[in-house]
Chains A and B, each alone.
Chain A
């Protein structure tokens, strides 16, 4: 059950960096793509350049921060319900 000593592509920090950079480049390109097509929007906000990108990024940050805050109140030991 322990490590087999074989090195995998993702074991190399440099490759992880490559993946991260690739994601950043794709995100950049997607953001720029907003300039070249026409949106059939239902709401005014959607026409804002990069609306979905900014929305996705900020919502995820807010969700995570809120959830972290919830942990303060809600987190208990694993055997919480076994105690009684």
Chain B
């Protein structure tokens, strides 16, 4: 019996993760590394059309639906899991090890999900498992960041659930295929995907959490959540016009922040956000070339962003510093990390012979072929900006710039090994792109290496480098300063709490005032009634018979008068 007849690869990984605590020492690492390898072999054996349904209650859930789109994402997720495990080989933290595996397993299972319920369950599981990678840093700041992350991620799941129920009521279908915008249910689902995909204004969980997670946790985080969202968009909303513009805004908007941000892992998180913009744009354009471009870009983006996060993780691991203002000159003590970081930087910038070159241009060319010249120009701007920040700024501030005199040991061997492997993949895909093109959802009719493309791309990048040089020499380039920059998280970390605090203090002051006023009134009432009815008051006095009779007569006369009227 084939395993696919009762289990899907991602669910297998989640179950396997639960047995990690049974292993000790190196055996645990070997066991963990074996899981994605077995799974990868299994996934290679799957072919489009493979299917597994599980009957529960009155519904049947499609836990395995294999097609060319789900396969690309499954391959890269498993590869990223394996490489992240190698990078985290030195870790002896059961919590991180188990949750890391559950997290990436849930992402694989979500990619194979054929119905919205399975997708929802895995969607929430990625959120719940991944928050431990932030909390594992075990300090107050990361605990709070983790809570913010969890609220937003689970919120995305709640939106998905609401959208799913409304969609089911409207159409009677729970299949996770093309959904399309326009109805309340599918709009909510799109919003849920948008939160995880880090759409503009919904994006800040990404920078917040990646900057606070552990050294190895950020490498894990960078690979799955956002790319799962890209997959979900490509599955449910290809060709949705609105996504083109959202994607374009997303590609450009984070660059400004990346230029002024001091924490280098947060710089990378902003750049990851910009890369997401390219993919969302590709999904929005929705042609075969654009969708191929989005899938290919997701594939290579996972690799080079992981590589950059690994390099910065190694720096943080060795120096305990990650701010540009505290780093510099590390090429002297961490030359290998520097070399791998530069390969990652070249890939993210899409230099010829690196992986970014063969994927990013597919999306830009797709935008141009469809005549979207504004989008084309914005994506070109973003390309230059990405090179300026993650291509130059990150390696420059960490490894070159002003020597801060830090002399540390080179990164541990396992980290270097993981970085070397990812670097090799980045170059391999860049030099032999047909291997990547062969696994894309549609047949590829695109040649990346033409004279014009190579020269124009080199012009764009090297003149950007020249601009950086001029700006640095002239002292215009913003210095790395010990600071933070306000982003949309200000709304929920400052603005809303402040309003709530004000409201609470307003209400409590009003209550106090009311209580004081009521106290005064009550006292007055008591005094007055005491004055008239107390033991020494007028009414309590002993009256003379004559005056009493007079008062009785007056009262009777008034009664008589009233009676006649």
Contact = CB atoms under 8 A, between A and B. Distances in A.
Q: Are A and B genuine complex partners?
A: yes
A30 B485 contact: no
A64 B259 contact: yes
B404 to A, nearest CB: 9
Nearest to B408: A1
Nearest to A79: B484
B484 A57 contact: no
Nearest to A41: B452
A10 B400 contact: yes
Contacts of B6: none
B513 interface: no
Contacts of B56: none
A59 B407 contact: no
Nearest to A73: B486
Contacts, number: 158
Residue from the set A53, A63, A78, A81 with the largest chain B CB neighbour count within 10 Å: A63
Contacts of A11: 403
B183 interface: no
Contact of B460 (A52, A73, A75, A77): A52
Interface stretch (B120-128, B350-358, B466-474): B466-474
Interface string B212-255: 00000000000000000000000000000000000000000001
Interface stretch (B69-77, B475-483, B551-559): B475-483
A62 to B, nearest CB: 9
A27 to B, nearest CB: 5
Given A37-B451, A56-B464, A59-B464, A75 B400 contact: no
Interface string B324-338: 000000011000000
Interface in A39-75: 39-40, 42-43, 46, 50-61, 63-68, 70-71, 73-75
A68 B483 contact: no
A84 B462 contact: no
What secondary structure prevails in chain A residues at the interface with B? Answer: helix
B471 A61 contact: yes
B103 to A, nearest CB: 26
A58 B467 CA distance: 8
A32 to B, nearest CB: 11
B373 A64 contact: no
Residue from the set A39, A60, A65, A76 with the largest chain B CB neighbour count within 10 Å: A60
Contacts of A8: 331-332
Contacts of B257: 67, 70
Contacts of A27: 462-463, 466
Given A20-B469, A30-B459, A76-B483, A3 B464 contact: no
A57 to B, nearest CB: 4
B388 interface: yes
A53 B255 contact: no
Contacts of A40: 450, 452
A64 B455 contact: no
Interface stretch (B93-101, B376-384, B411-419): B376-384
A53 B460 contact: yes
Interface string A8-33: 10110000000010011011001101
B376 A56 contact: no
Contact of B483 (A39, A55, A66, A75): A75
Contacts of A37: 451-452, 455
Nearest to A54: B463
A76 B484 contact: yes
A59 B385 contact: yes
B505 to A, nearest CB: 13
B478 A71 contact: yes
Contact of B476 (A30, A39, A43, A68): A68
B515 interface: no
Contact of B407 (A1, A42, A51, A52): A1
A36 B326 CA distance: 46
Contact of B256 (A55, A63, A78): A63
Nearest to B383: A56
Contacts of A64: 259, 388, 467, 471, 476-478
Contacts of A68: 260, 476, 478
A58 B464 CA distance: 8
A3 B403 contact: yes
A56 B467 contact: yes
B388 A30 contact: no
Nearest to B333: A4
Contacts of A4: 332, 407
B385 A60 contact: yes
Interface of A: 1-4, 6, 8, 10-11, 20, 23-24, 26-27, 30-31, 33-34, 37-40, 42-43, 46, 50-61, 63-68, 70-71, 73-78, 80-81, 84
23 contacts: A6-B332, A8-B331, A11-B403, A37-B455, A39-B452, A42-B376, A50-B459, A53-B459, A53-B463, A56-B461, A56-B463, A59-B380, A59-B464, A60-B385, A61-B470, A64-B388, A68-B478, A74-B485, A75-B260, A75-B484, A75-B485, A75-B486, A78-B483
Given A1-B406, A61-B471, 19 more contacts: A8-B332, A27-B466, A30-B462, A43-B376, A52-B460, A52-B463, A55-B380, A55-B460, A56-B461, A57-B467, A59-B385, A64-B471, A64-B477, A64-B478, A67-B257, A68-B476, A68-B478, A78-B483, A78-B484
